[in-house]
Amino acid sequence: MSTPRRLLARLRDLRAKGAAPLSELVMLVAAELVTEVCSVYVRRSGDILELAATEGLNANAVGHTRLRVGEGIIGLCAATAAVMNLPDAQNHPAFAYRPETGEEPFASMLSVPVRRSGRTLGVLAVQNRLPRHYTEQEVDELETVAMLLAEMLPANGSADRSSEGLGGTVPRVFSGASLMTGLAIGPVVLHGARHTGIRVLADDPEAELARLHEASDRMQRGLDELIAGVPMSSRSTDASASREVLEAYRLVAADAGWLRRVEVVIRSGLTAEAAVQRVGGELHDRMRRIGDAYLRERLADIEDLAGRLLTTLTGDTPRPPVPPGAILLCRRLGPAELLDWHADGIAGVAIEEASPSGHAAILARALGIPAIGATRGMLDTAEPGDEAILDGDDAQLILRPEAEVRQVYLRAQDVRTAQYARYSSLRGQRSVTSDGIHVKLMLNVGLALELAQLERTGADGIGLYRTEIGMLARGAIADVAEQAATYARVLDAANDKPVLFRTLDLGADKLLPGTVSTEENPAMGWRSLRIGLDRPALLRRQLRALLLAAGGRSLSVMFPMVATVQEFRQAKALLLAEAGRVRPAPERLSVGTMLEVPALMWQLPALLKEVDFLSVGSNDLVQFLFAADRGTPSLYDRYDLLSQPVFDLLEQLLIAAREAGVPVSICGEAASRPLEALALTGLGFSSLSMSASGVLPVKAMLAETDLAGFRPVLSAIRRGVGASGSLREPIATWARERGLPV
């Protein structure tokens, strides 16, 4: 019998005798794995790791040696939930010397976290005198023992936070990044904590393999039904509309690679449930080390699938009803899971590891669910049922808020609800200021799911259709026919309203599988139109699809990340060449560019002779203007769109474009905020494109604004601040004095 199978067999025999003491377990593991030391550290109250059992270290250290979580190699293993495989542990920077253990002779160390339901309960470690790197098989074996140990530690005094009283009344605030604006107040619901107490050791591996295959088939059939729109629940409409995201998810589910790894683990002696849980953890640990943000997003899909497969295997009953106003907290979140929770009625979601380009973030925006990301540490603090406030506008999660704070937010929520009720009456009205000036309010969208927002908001059209979002969601570049069908649906949904299609904006933080960026600064590297011009076949296919989708209707196409007039001319030439071959030709073909690269400002005379329209990409423009990566949290608030340098640049652009008769719009998240919208329209912009959540609030603000009266005020404010000063506070003060809803 192989070592893994023999070890598991002996562990099974040990468990069969009843509640085995930890001292017997460490003796057994040390003997079977041929290690000189095996130790178990148990997490106690106050985030303390205490040596609870050892074979090979001084027995008197048991119950006396303690480390804080994060202290020493053992503490680092607990804090990061990562395997530590060290051939020379004592020279590791994190090593913490404890003389009472007598561990001086031992050089190498392998430590693995003991986790249950997403919580670290302790650490299992082995040591040897000779410096060595433990093999992958030895790591597998120790992780298997750790899974079994996770079922034993609660009986041995491991601190479960629910028993520590940490969920009491101590408030905690977590700041992150906004994925979707909005406010939610309600009890906390934790994601991924339902699979507890699963059986680890298998009696019959072949029977477990059969259970795995049967459960996998059932899970796949369920996903097929979900994607096909079969009415499994009230969410079928959402599921059908989210086809792009879910198709990509199905491709991951159908990949047999990760299931083959599950089969290998089952053959070593684990149950199907334990094997799925084990492989899911391995994939998590491997993918969290991948530097590419888009590839890391696939981790959420895999974790989601592992959870679904576990549910299928265990036959877990459906979730209990979600309380009103519930806020979902999770480490990662897959797209199908978000649809499930949305159908159950969650009011908001906070995701520890999420990016704005991830599947969950895309769907949260499309579904209108307030969401924040990058809130690390919240899951280690929160308990189910804790009261929480999720502020998507300021990207904050407040756990267990004080009564006064909660009342302030409840009043804000009442005001917001009343505002939305007033906004609904504006849906069918044109966006006009109080002095009769029409301002076009357009939508930024990228998925079929978002097209319904045209009717819900009464927007004037689509000012930015991000063609890459659907392809990122599905994980591949669609062929010409598929692209044409997608773009035709967009034009159909818009009816006679204008649609500005942006060609593929890939690169930077938006990478397709298999295209890992190695650039030091990908935001300023090979991306967007640069890729299209270097791979003209890719760009020509997309342009042909857009022309076919138009089917004789008007078509507007704009190119992203243009840095020189020559680049625009090259791209325009490709479009016109394709237009000469496609029939019927568009009734009217308009060609424009995003203005994101400041270098174009010194090429305006030549550029304005070439373009039919311009759209300012405020996010990238501010990033490049101030040399400030918009993905860096420490720089989020340092540079302001409402500042003198930006307004000087935008004013110069507006004057030149007006003289040339070229319309200019502005898109980006800034346009969806009423204060920024007020300032931009005051400067002279008559077309703003924004996310759906901003349309009605901006329309309401403009309806109360005397724009002709505000423009001289804005000029005076600009004269009154320094060359690099912010205009934000003076504009906000003027707006507040007049009761404008900014």
pLDDT of residue 58: 94
Half-sphere exposure of 389 toward its Cβ, with a 13 Å CA cutoff?
23
- Is residue 42 one of the residues assigned to a domain? yes
Residue 717 above 90 pLDDT? yes
Residue 22 above 70 pLDDT? yes
Most confidently predicted of 129-143, 348-362, 524-538: 129-143
pLDDT of residue 556: 97
Same domain membership, residue 391 and residue 304: yes
User: 514: pLDDT confidence band, cut at 50, 70 and 90?
Assistant: very low
Which structure tokens are listed for 269?
Answer: 């002696």
Same domain membership, residue 76 and residue 212: no
Distance CA(79)–CA(193), nearest Å, equals 19
CA distance readout (Å), 359 to 191, 228, 287, 353, 446: 17, 19, 16, 12, 12
φ, ψ of residue 201 in degrees (nearest 5): -95, 135
* DSSP one-letter code for 527: -
Residue 167 above 50 pLDDT? no
Q: What is the mean pLDDT of residues 139-145?
A: 85
**pLDDT tens, position by position, 263-286:** 888 887 888 888 887 777 666 665
Q: How far apart are the two ends of the chain, measured CA to CA in Å?
A: 72
Q: Which domain holds residue 673?
A: 425-737
Q: What is the mean pLDDT of residues 389-407?
A: 89
Query: Which of 245-249, 312-316, 660-664, 702-706 is predicted with the least confidence, judged by mean pLDDT?
Result: 245-249
Same domain membership, residue 662 and residue 611: yes
φ, ψ of residue 732 in degrees (nearest 5): -60, -40
User: 166: pLDDT confidence band, cut at 50, 70 and 90?
Assistant: very low
Q: What is the mean pLDDT of residues 138-145?
A: 86
Same domain membership, residue 654 and residue 558: yes
CATH number (domain holding residue 205): 3.50.30.10
- Is residue 420 one of the residues assigned to a domain? no
Which structure tokens are listed for 417?
Answer: 């609800």
**pLDDT tens, position by position, 685-704:** 999 999 888 899 999 999 99
Residue 29 above 60 pLDDT? yes
Residue 2 above 60 pLDDT? no
How many structural domains compose the chain?
3
Residue 659: other Cβ atoms inside 10 A: 11
Same domain membership, residue 362 and residue 460: no
Among 164, 192, 208, residue at a domain's last position: 164
Residue 581 above 80 pLDDT? yes
CB 272 within 8 A of CB 266: yes
Query: Which of 370-374, 394-398, 508-512 is predicted with the least confidence, judged by mean pLDDT?
Result: 508-512
Residue 513 above 70 pLDDT? no
CATH number (domain holding residue 137): 3.30.450.40
What residues act catalytically? 359, 667
Same domain membership, residue 353 and residue 218: yes
Length in residues, the chain:
742
Same domain membership, residue 254 and residue 293: yes
What is the average pLDDT score of the chain? 82
Same domain membership, residue 600 and residue 565: yes
Among 415, 445, 477, residue at a domain's last position: 415
Query: 3-state secondary structure string, 224-251?
Result: HHHHHCCCCCCCHHHHHHCHHHHHHHHH
CATH number (domain holding residue 560): 3.20.20.60
**pLDDT tens, position by position, 52-106:** 999 999 999 999 999 998 899 999 998 888 899 999 999 998 999 899 999 999 9
Distance CA(299)–CA(285), nearest Å, equals 10
pLDDT of residue 539: 93
- Is residue 542 one of the residues assigned to a domain? yes
Alpha-carbon torsion (366, 367, 370, 375), positive or negative:
negative
SS3 499: strand
- Is residue 272 one of the residues assigned to a domain? yes
Query: Which of 11-20, 293-302, 462-471, 705-714 is predicted with the least confidence, judged by mean pLDDT?
Result: 293-302
Q: What is the mean pLDDT of residues 235-244?
A: 43
- Is residue 221 one of the residues assigned to a domain? yes
Same domain membership, residue 411 and residue 444: no
Same domain membership, residue 568 and residue 710: yes
Residue 111 above 70 pLDDT? yes
Q: What is the mean pLDDT of residues 720-739?
A: 86
- Is residue 742 one of the residues assigned to a domain? no
Same domain membership, residue 178 and residue 155: no
- Is residue 235 one of the residues assigned to a domain? yes
Residue 467 above 70 pLDDT? yes
pLDDT of residue 228: 60
**pLDDT tens, position by position, 286-330:** 555 555 444 455 555 666 677 778 778 877 555 678 898 999 998
To 10 degrees, the CA torsion angle through 441, 442, 448, 451? 40
In terms of pTM, does the model score above 0.75?
A: no
Residue 520 above 70 pLDDT? no
Percent of the chain predicted with pLDDT > 70? 79
Among 389, 415, 441, residue at a domain's last position: 415
Same domain membership, residue 435 and residue 401: no
- Is residue 266 one of the residues assigned to a domain? yes
**pLDDT tens, position by position, 399-453:** 999 888 888 888 888 888 887 777 878 888 899 999 999 999 999 988 777 788 8
Residue whose C-alpha is closest to residue 280's, from 211, 208, 351, 195: 195
